[in-house]
Every structure is written in C-alpha cells, then in structure tokens.
C-alpha cells in the first residue's frame, strides 16, 4: 500500500470496525465454527504475488469474523471480560504507526517518558503509595504484556535477590508460594524457572482467601526441613471466586521474614482500587504497607485493549539488579549516566510495545471519574444479578459476590422433588452448565471450589447494560428448569 492507498484502506477499516460494533448485540457471542475451519479455507502457502488489499480486508470479514468469540458483546459474562474502548484502539494504531521498540530511553524518549508518567498517573488512580511512583526515583512502574509476565518477572527478581543475599543456596531448595486459588501463573513460573512451588490450601469459611497463620505454618515447616521460601504470590480477586487474600495478615507474618518477596496479583480486581469505596475490601492499605510488587491488568477491567499489564515495584533496583545486561551495542550516554529509565532492564524482553500511549488516551478521554463510573456500573450490574440468584429458591451463591463476579450454582428446592447429595448436585450443575454453554446468545464459564462445581458470571464488557443482565437471568432460569427436568428423566 502506498500512502494514499493506506488512507483509503484505513477509512474502510474504521468503517467496518464501526459496523462491527453497531451490530455486535445482534451476533452470537460464541463462534460456531468447527476446529480446522480456517485451514480448510486458506491456501497452504503465502501467495507468491501480493494480493489486492480490498480482497484481503473482505476475507477478514468473511473468514475471520465468523471465528471470533465476541468478547466485547454485551452478553459476554465469561472468564474476566476485557473491556476495550475506541480510545485504546486509536492509541494502539498510533503506536503501530511509530513501531518503536522503546527499550532504552534514547531509542525513543517519548516511549519511556510517557510510560513513566502514565504509570504514575495509574499508581495515583489506584491509590498506591508514592513509594511506587517513578518520580520517587526508588520504586516505579513498568508496562508488561500480561499478569503472567509480570509475576514471572517479579519471581525472577525475587530469586535473584535471594541468591545475592544467601550466596550458595542450592536452587532446588527455593520454594515459590501460591495458593490453590492463585492463577496458573504461579505454577507456570515454577515450571519456567525449574523451581518448587508450594500450593497453600484455603478454606471455604475464609471465602477461599489465604490467611496469615497458614503462611506462617508453611514457612516454619519449610525452613525446618531446609527449604527456602523466597516469594509469595497473593491475589486480590482470584480467578475462580474473586477471593481477596489476607494481605494484611500475610504482610505481618512476612515482616519476620524480610527476604520473602510479596507479589500481589490483582490482574482483574486491581482496577477497583480506583474507587475509594472499594479500597478497604481490596486491601489497599496492606498492599501499600507490605507488597514488594503489585500488578493489575488494564486490559482486563481498565478499558484498555489487550495487552496492557502494569507492574509496580517498591525498589526498581530489585528488577535492574536481576535483569540489567548491557552489551556495548546497547550502551548510551544517558544510560551510562543513570539519568534516565532504560525499561529493557525492568523486564525479560528487550524490545517492547508503546503500550502507554493507549492507556494515556483512555485515561485522558475517560478521566478518573469516567473510569470509576464504569467500574461502579459493572459492580452495580453484578449486584442485580446476584440479587436475582439470591432470591431464587433454586439457586445459591457459592461464595459472596466479589466486585463484579458472582459464583453460583443450581441448588434446587422447587425444581427437583428432594434435596440432592453433593455428588448429585455436581452432576446436575455439570448438565446445567453444558446446556448453558450450548447457547450462543451469552457466555459464562465454570469453575470448581474445593470440589464444588459452580458457574461464574462476570460483568465487565463496556457495553453491558441492565437489560443484558436481566436477559441473562431469564436464560439461566430457563436452562435450569430444562436441566432439572432432563436430569430427573
């Protein structure tokens, strides 16, 4: 494409994106294609000669769109939704146009400078303490791809600190702590680094949050048997049930073990910290007092399109001591003088996308009040859903609703003649969920909490309105009735 052809193709692309958004609610949420559909539709090799770009864009409509699950659909209630905004898309477009790997300050000063500023804006938005600001010169924030990447980076830095402060420690003695509710990122970090992972149990009566006493007991057991726990991944808003670990208690315990790094994964629920009224529930004070590092994903609940994970550390040298490798070809005057941030030393990769641009666009266009309004709206919509579940004799909440997530199951008192055992209830709920997941007009996902099969309902798509939630309640009731009668046959 030359510049003028790009202009035309670009207008057309924007028109089509607008049409896509206008018609989103008329589409099925879930794609109905079969595995391998695209391989059948596409040639075996890239074309020898360049093709007409109109034809390529038409094929996007014809072949790719039908294979999309519409995460921006107002009836997408699965996983944790990824709200996305036009401002974010435009930010990404400009970032692509600059295509700048931004690894050193000097290789594109705006990339580093904007990121440092936007990370401070975001830290303030979330109420993080000034120790985490880039302006502190000691702590700071960096943009990452994913929460998994953020956790892995924090764990690499924690391992490095442990080895520096305990020279000679055999690596097979090191232990990463997670809980049974931590996202798979904890186990994955263990896999990648070849380190042991200890999975701490949590109890239903604690709402699946890990308590300080379990952490203390595990540390004492491990240290007695020669193992060295060096990092604990705590979660604010677990994936299965939105549990908030007792960071206050854990932090108090870890004060006795200052070499254990506390990484707080708030990939989803971190955005609730933007609203002062949720800060206590999300344990902001404990995060500010005790977290060595903290992560949230703007690409989940922060109105920014994927990817936009944000990681803050209390001491930036913890990252740079672990990750700074500076061959001659990467040296710069400012880097040598130490007067600028060179973000390549804060994470695993070298090159990096200009992600801060889209966050900047979103924060400026929505404003702090706009972001808060959206978070509050999602939580209010989830409250409507949770109340409907609570007031129905045939459903139960498995855990108290957490922010914009409700975990529930069918627990019939009118739909089946007699009360059911746990096993039968699980079977019934599997059947119920199978029915629900065959629907294409909404999407929910399932989970298990200490052996109890349950269903998750998460509000977060930027277009979800009350009517969508009420329609979901109706569909769920309808499918529950059908599942209960099928189960009894």
Residues that bind ligand PLP (CB under 6 A): 79-80, 146-148, 183, 185, 235, 237-239, 265, 267-268, 297, 309
Q: Nearest approach, Cβ of 33 to ligand PLP (angstroms)?
A: 23
**C-alpha–C-alpha distance, residues 19 and 37, integer Å:** 24
**C-alpha–C-alpha distance, residues 305 and 95, integer Å:** 13
Q: Nearest approach, Cβ of 297 to ligand PLP (angstroms)?
A: 5
Residue placing its CB nearer to ligand PLP in the complex, 140 or 460: 460
Q: Nearest approach, Cβ of 55 to ligand PLP (angstroms)?
A: 34
Q: What is the largest CA-CA distance in the chain?
A: 78
Q: Nearest approach, Cβ of 460 to ligand PLP (angstroms)?
A: 11
Residue placing its CB nearer to ligand PLP in the complex, 78 or 428: 78
Q: Nearest approach, Cβ of 51 to ligand PLP (angstroms)?
A: 34
Q: Nearest approach, Cβ of 285 to ligand PLP (angstroms)?
A: 20
Residue placing its CB nearer to ligand PLP in the complex, 147 or 247: 147
Do strands 261-265 and 293-297 pair parallel, antiparallel, or not at all (unpaired)?
Answer: parallel
Do strands 174-179 and 228-235 pair parallel, antiparallel, or not at all (unpaired)?
Answer: parallel
Q: Rounded to an integer, what is the distance from CA 242 to the centroid of its chain?
A: 12
**C-alpha–C-alpha distance, residues 397 and 406, integer Å:** 7
Residue placing its CB nearer to ligand PLP in the complex, 268 or 343: 268
Q: Nearest approach, Cβ of 399 to ligand PLP (angstroms)?
A: 15
Residue placing its CB nearer to ligand PLP in the complex, 147 or 218: 147
Q: Nearest approach, Cβ of 292 to ligand PLP (angstroms)?
A: 17
Q: Kindly calculate the radius of gyration of the chain based on its CA atoms and give it in whole angstroms.
A: 24
**C-alpha–C-alpha distance, residues 98 and 94, integer Å:** 6
3-state SS class at 70 = coil
Residue placing its CB nearer to ligand PLP in the complex, 250 or 267: 267
Q: Nearest approach, Cβ of 295 to ligand PLP (angstroms)?
A: 8
**C-alpha–C-alpha distance, residues 368 and 309, integer Å:** 18
Q: Are 311 and 144 in contact (CB under 8 A)?
A: yes
Residue placing its CB nearer to ligand PLP in the complex, 238 or 446: 238
Residue placing its CB nearer to ligand PLP in the complex, 235 or 406: 235
Query: How many other CB atoms are there within 10 angstroms of residue 343's CB atom?
Result: 22
**C-alpha–C-alpha distance, residues 484 and 145, integer Å:** 43
**143 preceded by a cis bond (ω within 30 of 0):** no
Q: 255-271 as b/e, with b when 16 or more CB fall inside 10 Å?
A: eebeebbbbbbbbbbbb
Handedness of CA 160, 162, 165, 170 (dihedral sign): negative
Residue placing its CB nearer to ligand PLP in the complex, 359 or 483: 359
Q: Nearest approach, Cβ of 458 to ligand PLP (angstroms)?
A: 9
* Residue among 463, 354, 478 nearest 73 (CA): 463
Q: Nearest approach, Cβ of 151 to ligand PLP (angstroms)?
A: 7
The phi, psi pair for 134, rounded to 5°, reads: -65, -30
Do strands 174-179 and 196-200 pair parallel, antiparallel, or not at all (unpaired)?
Answer: parallel
Q: How many CA atoms are closer than 13 Å to the CA of 241, on its beta-carbon side?
A: 26
Residue placing its CB nearer to ligand PLP in the complex, 185 or 459: 185
Residue placing its CB nearer to ligand PLP in the complex, 236 or 484: 236
Q: Are 294 and 314 in contact (CB under 8 A)?
A: no
Q: Are 237 and 267 in contact (CB under 8 A)?
A: yes
């Amino acid at each position: 494409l030359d510049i003028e052809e790009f202009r035309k193709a670009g207008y057309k692309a924007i028109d089509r994106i607008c049409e896509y958004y206008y018609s989103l609610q008329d589409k099925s949420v879930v794609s109905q294609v079969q595995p391998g559909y695209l391989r059948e539709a596409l040639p075996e090799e890239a074309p020898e000669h360049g093709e007409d770009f109109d034809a390529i864009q038409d094929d996007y409509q014809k072949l790719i769109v039908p294979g999309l699950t519409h995460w921006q659909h107002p009836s997408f209630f699965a996983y944790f939704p990824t709200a996305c905004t036009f401002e974010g898309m435009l930010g990404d477009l400009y970032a692509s146009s600059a295509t700048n790997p931004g690894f050193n300050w000097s290789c594109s000063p705006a990339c580093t400078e904007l990121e440092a500023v936007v990370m401070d804006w975001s830290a303030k938005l979330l109420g993080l303490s000034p120790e985490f600001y880039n302006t502190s010169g000691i702590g700071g924030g960096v943009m990452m791809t994913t929460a998994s990447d953020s956790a892995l980076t924090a764990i690499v830095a924690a391992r490095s600190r442990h080895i520096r402060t305990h020279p000679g420690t055999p690596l097979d003695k090191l232990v990463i702590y997670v809980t049974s509710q931590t996202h798979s990122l904890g186990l994955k970090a263990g896999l990648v680094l070849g380190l042991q992972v200890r999975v701490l149990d949590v109890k239903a009566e604690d709402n699946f949050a890990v308590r300080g006493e379990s952490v203390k007991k595990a540390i004492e057991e491990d240290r007695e048997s020669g193992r060295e726990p060096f990092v604990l991944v705590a979660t604010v808003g677990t994936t299965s049930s939105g549990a908030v670990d007792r960071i206050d208690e854990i932090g108090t315990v870890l004060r006795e073990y200052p070499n254990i790094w506390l990484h707080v994964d708030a990939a989803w629920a971190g955005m609730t910290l933007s609203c002062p009224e949720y800060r206590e529930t999300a344990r902001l004070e404990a995060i500010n007092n005790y977290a060595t590092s903290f992560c949230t994903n703007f690409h989940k609940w922060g109105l920014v399109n994927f990817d936009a994970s944000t990681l803050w550390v209390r001491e930036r040298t913890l990252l740079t001591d672990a990750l700074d490798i500076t061959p001659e070809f990467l040296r710069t005057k400012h880097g040598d003088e130490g007067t600028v941030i060179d973000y390549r030393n804060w994470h695993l990769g070298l090159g990096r996308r200009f992600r801060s641009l889209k966050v900047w666009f979103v924060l400026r266009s929505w404003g702090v009040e706009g972001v808060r309004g959206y978070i509050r709206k999602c939580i209010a919509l989830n409250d409507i859903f949770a109340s409907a579940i609570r007031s129905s004799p045939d459903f139960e909440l498995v855990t108290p609703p957490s922010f914009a997530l409700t975990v529930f199951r069918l627990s019939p008192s009118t739909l089946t003649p007699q009360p059911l055992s746990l096993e039968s209830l699980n079977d019934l709920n599997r059947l119920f969920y199978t029915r629900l997941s065959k629907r294409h007009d909404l999407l929910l996902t399932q989970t298990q909490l200490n052996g109890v099969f349950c269903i998750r309902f998460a509000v977060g798509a930027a277009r979800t309105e009350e009517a969508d939630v009420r329609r979901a309640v109706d569909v769920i009731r309808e499918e529950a009735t059908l599942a209960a009668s099928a189960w009894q046959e």
